[in-house]
Amino acid sequence: MNGRLCSAGRWDPLVRRLEALGYRDGETLFAAPYDFRYAVPSAVGARYFRDLARLLRRARRLNRGRPAVLVAHSFGCALTYQFLLSRPLPWRRRHVGHAVLLGPALGGFAEGMEGLVTGTGCGLPDAAARPMKARLARSQQSALWRLPTPPVFGDRPLVVTAIETYTARDVAAFLEDIGFAEGVRPYVTRVLPIWRDLPAPLVPVTSVIGVGVATPETFVFRTEEGFEGEPEVVYGDGDGTINIVSLVAVDEWAGVQGQVLKVLRLPGVHHTSFFADDFALTSVVAEIYEAGGSVQLDPDV
């Protein structure tokens, strides 16, 4: 990870806006791309965290001891959050002045369960055969991170078949029943422990979320064959992908001593539109600019 932007893809509109404000690639603007297939704990995840820590130290040196503003979107928010928790508090506060989270899903989302059944969102075209998509989805470590967590979703019905109703507390049984028994052990031993609680990271956080967009919250399979066929979808509030209960999970940090928190709700903004919708993009740039202005220089450079 060298921190250079190269081709930022969907981040390009945000990068251009920030460059117009005076940010410079490799000097005051850095990239930390990740492979979305992997999560932590894993060798790939551990290496990413080491590289990110090295990049933050470098950015701080290049900017006279000013800690960085970390900006993350979607799965990157979950990675950023776990990265912060993995570092000692003095290190966090020395190197991260603010975290701006765009569409954070710190409690998973309902589509994470449906994706393991149908393979939706695995990266293959929609026209690809369902078994192929499901196999690919299940091969990705990060698929288990997308699953709704019990502390956030509680007893809400997420997947319903003719004989079972699955909540976030039934994920292990759900994995068995869809024929993904090999996913149970890593889910129980690796994923659940790190998402059992959501302790405040104790660095300033701004969370920017889309709201008021119809978002899948329950998938109903009507056939007698369990998970065959296309499910009926019950919609609720959210950003079109992430359910509102997961988006607002950070609200529990409000009032925690030592935690600065701001939550900005953007009505009608979809999860995938933060870099495409002009209203959303303008709002995000304003929050980054405000966060950067609040970062203080570290006297012990």
270: its two tokens: 């979809």
Cα–Cα distance, 258 to 87 (Å, whole number): 16
Cβ-based burial of 255 (10 A; exposed 0-12, middle 13-18, buried ≥19): exposed
The active-site residue out of 98, 170, 177, 239 is 239
Question: Residue 52: in which H helix or E strand, if any?
Answer: helix 43-62
The active-site residue out of 98, 271, 273, 277 is 271
Question: Residue 98: in which H helix or E strand, if any?
Answer: strand 96-102
Neighbours of 122 (CB within 10 A): 20
The active-site residue out of 74, 142, 246, 273 is 74
Cα–Cα distance, 234 to 75 (Å, whole number): 23
Nearest to 146 by CA among 157, 135, 156, 137: 137
Phi, psi dihedral angles at 204 (to 5 degrees): -55, 135
Cα–Cα distance, 83 to 68 (Å, whole number): 14
Q: What is the DSSP letter of 40?
A: S
65: its two tokens: 């001891």
- Locate the DSSP E strands across the chain: 68-73, 96-102, 159-160, 165-166, 205-211, 215-220, 232-236, 261-267
Helix (H), strand (E), coil (C) string for 157-198: CCEECCCCEECHHHHHHHHHHCCCHHHHHHHHHHHHHHHCCC
In the sheet with 232-236, reading across from the earlier edge strand, the strands are 165-166, 159-160, 215-220, 232-236
Instruction: State yes or no: is 271 an active-site residue.
Output: yes
Instruction: State yes or no: is 74 an active-site residue.
Output: yes
Helix (H, G, I), strand (E, B) or coil at 206: strand
Catalytic residues: 74, 239, 271
